[in-house]
Amino acid sequence: MKKGRDHLKDDIYDWNLKFPFDHQWRHKYKIPYGSKAHREMCLFDIKFDISEEKLFKSLIQEKMSEKVNNNNKLLKRSKISKVSKKEVEDYFDNLDLDQFDNMKI
């Protein structure tokens, strides 16, 4: 035979299986079980409130991950090709300085 405490545990367990968002919602708003505010709340509204919060947390996390990934891409070193001294000298020898005469600074 089960004791009263065991029946209470079973009732709490059954309630939370039946209404999985209820406990989370009551905890979020600090509303006691069975209180007037709890009894006045619609289970659809409770589920909507908790689902909306999860969705926005997920979206925020996704956007933050995108920003971090974009920042990491910017911070990665780009591959620098090695150029010989001769190639540098050739580049400067062939540089047309006239193109800089009409530049606006």
More confident residue, 52 or 83: 52
Average pLDDT over residues 19-26: 93
pLDDT digits (tens, 9 = 90+) for 35-71: 999 999 999 999 999 999 999 999 999 999 988 888 8
How close are the terminal C-alpha atoms of the chain, in Å? 92
Q: Which pLDDT belongs to residue 105? A: 66
Whether 3 shows a pLDDT value over 90: the answer reads: no
What percent of the chain lies above the pLDDT cut of 90?
A: 51
What residue segments make up the domains of the chain, in order of their start? 4-76
